[in-house]
A = this chain, B = another copy of it.
Amino acid sequence: MNHKENLVNIACIQMEPVFGDIPGNTRKSIELINQASNKGANIIVLPELCNSGYVFNSRIEALSLAEEIPSGPTVQSWIRVAKENDVYIVAGINEKEGDKLYNSAVLIGPEGYIGTYRKNHLWNEEKYYFEEGNLGFPVFETKYGKLGILVCYDIWFPEAFRVYAKHGVDLVCVATNWVPMAYQPKEEKRMAVHIAQANAHMNSVFVACADRVGVERGQPFIGSSVIVDSDGWCVTGPASYDEEELLLATCDLSKARRGKQKTKLNSIMDDRREEIYQVEQKIH
């Protein structure tokens, strides 16, 4: 098909943060951002809570490893490296606002800090430490198109992708710390990858997931970072379960917009029937 392209190089950095070592994790993230940028990346996604680590033992500990956005040292470092490299960065960060904690991800662009997403669906013991996100699903304009952000368990909620798709998001960046399921068939990809693929396809959005690896305080993480196109196919990845890796893919984000029209008669957003999704059902 003859069409205008909207090419962008998307990178997902699969890394292993060291619990509690904010300066070390920030240095490492900057090294990896520089590497990705040297390979041509325009938008670079990093894992959930990649500056602090994930497994907190107490609220006080979590708070001691949090920073304010955008004044905190990690964000300030990312602002510098984004400017130097002329890239966008989406990165998970332990955010404090006064004494409140949020499991957040920041978007930083070549011109500086753009905005924050706060995880809307908290997983397990995160509920002991963090507040639920209170910023909804913000849609961020960038020079490459419209970005949405989700964090980890958020992708289990197809409603989140629908909200973004309704508002024309081209790329959903997912900062994540996926943990293993009780049962994993050997021949299957991780369920998180199926979920990313299905939601990408059902909404015609690109989905770029950056996961961490390693075992922290007994909690293993599963890697499998992946960049999925708006048809739902893996462009690159899933990455390994346990190695630090850089995923990089050239994506034509214009596909996300064209793909919403599935046939002459089918637009996936127009085919939705809001009026029948809300009604209370009778049991027959």
Contact = CB atoms under 8 A, between A and B. Distances in A.
A273 B132 contact: yes
B198 A194 contact: yes
Interface string A247-281: 00000000000000001111010011100110101
A159 interface: yes
Interface of A: 114-115, 120-125, 127, 132, 136-141, 146, 153, 156-160, 162-163, 166-167, 181, 183, 185, 188, 191, 194-195, 197-199, 201-202, 231-234, 263-266, 268, 271-273, 276-277, 279, 281-284
Contacts of A195: 198, 201-202
B159 A123 contact: no
Given A194-B194, A195-B202, 16 more contacts: A122-B271, A124-B263, A136-B281, A139-B281, A139-B282, A141-B283, A146-B283, A156-B202, A157-B202, A158-B202, A160-B277, A167-B283, A181-B231, A183-B231, A185-B234, A191-B231
Given A162-B277, A183-B233, A201-B191, A123 B284 contact: no
B273 A121 contact: yes
A137 B185 contact: no
B284 A140 contact: yes
Contacts of A153: 266, 271
Contact of A265 (B125, B159, B198): B125
Contacts of A159: 158, 162, 272, 277
Nearest to A274: B159
A263 B124 CA distance: 6
Contacts of A277: 159-160, 162-163
User: Which of A127, A264, A265, A284: most chain B Cβ within 10 A?
Assistant: A284
